[in-house]
Structure 1
Amino acid sequence: MGGTDQPAIVQLAPEDARAGLVLSGESHWNQNEADWRFFLRMAMVLGIRDGDARLIATAALLPYSPADAWISMVLVTASRRRRGLATRLLAACLDRAAKLGLTAWLDATPAGAAVYGPLGFFPALELRRLRGAGAAKGPRLGSDGNLDEMIARDRHAMGFDRSALLRELGGRSGSRVISQGRAMAMVRDGRTARHIGPLYADDAGSAAALIETVAQSESGPILLDVVNERRQFLEHLAGAGWTVERPFQRMRFGRATTVNAELPFAVAGPEYG
């Protein structure tokens, strides 16, 4: 990081939300302004600006517990890619995590995983991002699920508490916590599509039935980040017309601090884990 020709890494502030959203749009990611504002309030978000003070690269470290944090929002504007900006920002996030004694996690695209592996990240879960379309056969569902129950199941699955995240997501105007028997999911707005996740259920059939119920009440595109080990659930979705948009590889940097006591059927999203 020492060369004088390298632009400085700076910590971003809430007023940078719109600039971050521009990078999300350029990279065709689904984060919306509310996501950016959450990160800028709750995480360490680092950025690099060009000579005109335009934000050209970002990365965030979001602590979830005294032992674990999530790295995400690793974005670089198209004209500045392959110049080491993302690697510099990632290194800064890892340095901060090390100083705080945090194990760092992330959900990587295949291209990202090829970079992160040699840096010392270990693979964990595999994910599949699926895209579907709402059938709009009824009004949008209202919240009928218990957010506290979702928080408890999420804590059991992740091994650490994400109540601040789930209360934030669940409190947005377009968000719903939908339950059907023992199956429950968060449904929220994204930049270009609605997003379902996390999703917890006792079996693949009840998880698929809940997804069908949600899709019947939605009118536009829907994204779902499914845990690849949930093969029967994936088969249900494929049969219902959902298509795989891209894979993700969950990766860990540092010692293992948790064990998945319950695998979700779908996760909160690659930005959040």
Structure 2
Amino acid sequence: MLTDRPEASSFEDLTPDDVSAIYALIEDLGWTHVIKDLEIMLQVGVFLGARDAAGRVVATGAFFPYGTDLASIGMIMVSPEHQRQGYGCAVMEALHDHDVAQGRTLCLIATEEGEPLYRKCGYEVVERIRKFFGSPKEFLSKTSEYSFADVILRAMRRSDLEDAIRLDAKALGAKRCELLEQRFLQADHAVVAEDKQGEVIGFVLASPQRGQHHLGPMISPDGETALAMIRYVAERSGKELRIDIPEEQSALHSRLPDLGFSLIANPPAMLRPSSITEKSDPSLETPIYPGCRKLYWSIMSQAYA
């Protein structure tokens, strides 16, 4: 039985057998993930959970390792009746103590409520994310006269995964091969952008959520190509579009409000550098993302950062 103030040891590894229990917690919190999201997360990441005396999962946290030096923290959930009882601190401690987390820079996208907890755990804000929802019909109406003559768009094929993984790794500074493959299989729409020589220069995956398509990750050389890929998805989607854009990509997010999208939230993206990173460059006052983030135009999801 758990104490009133849970410890990191209260959390155990969850398995695919726990999908329904995790999903029940998601529904309690009103989050939009679908069952397939959880199946993928349990396959590619480390998912921890704490149970009440009846065996119900009441708190969770997960991290997703990328390459050897980076990981994303996500799915920090506490049931409404167990909030403000120490579960948030306990799960963060459990995640940080996990063997797979050692030596990695950890990143996450916080909620406004969660930001103080993450600061206490050693995370610093490095940028913000602009979360937009939009109608594909309205977006198409407002871009009906747009021309993207220099961009060739087509449906992504499985044979394109190698190029997509390469571009994604360049943007993030770490490979996430299995995760991208699984998200490609999950996506209702997957798009690649080619230049005139037939080289793949960008891609976006549109994965289904409840009543939405979440566009991400989106890797692009520029804002015009990013807009072209959004339009490709909008022409084929009958669902509301969601896109979470790093704040530095003003060439895209500054235009979306005039194209039928509404800004819903502006959460902070945070980093917790590993001790290795801190020792290798102690002059850095604020941690920075690895990779070439100017190529990263939309995140995969808040869990995957």
Q: TM-score scaled to structure 2, two decimals? A: 0.80
- Residue of 49, 52, 55 corresponding to 1:53: 55
- Residue of 290, 299, 305 corresponding to 1:259: 290
- Give me the identity figure in percent: 24
Q: Deviations over 1:42-63 (max 9, x none)?
A: 3221111112211111001222
Partner of residue 281, structure 2: none
CA distance in 1 between partners of 2:154 and 2:34 (Å) = 21
5+ long unaligned stretches in structure 1: none
Alignment of 1:171-250 (within 5 A): 171-172=185-186, 174-181=187-194, 182-250=201-269
What SS is found at the alignment partner of 1:128? strand
What SS is found at the alignment partner of 1:135? helix
What SS is found at the alignment partner of 1:56? strand
Cα shift at 1:142: 7.7
Q: Structure 1 residues 237 and 190, CA, compared in 2 at 3 Å: closer, same or farther?
A: same
What SS is found at the alignment partner of 2:90? helix
Task: Give the number of aligned pairs.
Answer: 268
Alignment of 1:137-152 (within 5 A): 143-144=155-156, 146-152=160-166
Partner of residue 62, structure 1: 64
Partner of residue 269, structure 1: 301
Alignment of 1:57-206 (within 5 A): 57-96=59-98, 100-135=102-137, 143-144=155-156, 146-172=160-186, 174-181=187-194, 182-206=201-225
Matched, 1:16 2:18: yes
Q: Structure 1 residues 57 and 99, CA, compared in 2 at 3 Å: closer, same or farther?
A: closer
Amino acid at match of 2:31: W
CA distance in 2 between partners of 1:22 and 1:260 (Å) = 36
Alignment root-mean-square deviation, CA: 2.4
Q: Structure 1 residues 265 and 99, CA, compared in 2 at 3 Å: closer, same or farther?
A: closer
Amino acid at match of 2:166: A
Cα shift at 1:99: 6.4
Q: Structure 1 residues 217 and 18, CA, compared in 2 at 3 Å: closer, same or farther?
A: same
5+ long unaligned stretches in structure 2: 141-152, 195-200, 278-287
Tell which structure's C-alpha radius of gyration is larger. 2
Say if 1:69 and 1:97, in contact at 8 Å, map to a contact too.
Answer: no
Say if 1:169 and 1:175, in contact at 8 Å, map to a contact too.
Answer: no
Partner of residue 43, structure 1: 45
Q: Structure 1 residues 148 and 125, CA, compared in 2 at 3 Å: closer, same or farther?
A: farther
CA distance in 2 between partners of 1:271 and 1:51 (Å) = 28
CA distance in 2 between partners of 1:268 and 1:99 (Å) = 20
CA distance in 2 between partners of 1:99 and 1:63 (Å) = 8
Partner of residue 29, structure 2: 27
CA distance in 2 between partners of 1:265 and 1:57 (Å) = 31
Q: Deviations over 1:34-90 (max 9, x none)?
A: 121122223221111112211111001222222222111101111111111121111
Q: Structure 1 residues 4 and 204, CA, compared in 2 at 3 Å: closer, same or farther?
A: closer
CA distance in 2 between partners of 1:90 and 1:124 (Å) = 19
Q: Deviations over 1:182-240 (max 9, x none)?
A: 44211111244211011122221221122122112211112111111111211221111
Say if 1:97 and 1:103, in contact at 8 Å, map to a contact too.
Answer: no
Amino acid at match of 1:56: V
What SS is found at the alignment partner of 1:271? coil
What SS is found at the alignment partner of 2:254? helix
Q: Deviations over 1:139-159 (max 9, x none)?
A: xx9833632222111100111
Say if 2:245 and 2:253, in contact at 8 Å, map to a contact too.
Answer: yes
What SS is found at the alignment partner of 1:111? coil
Amino acid at match of 1:144: M
What SS is found at the alignment partner of 1:109? coil
CA distance in 2 between partners of 1:159 and 1:200 (Å) = 13
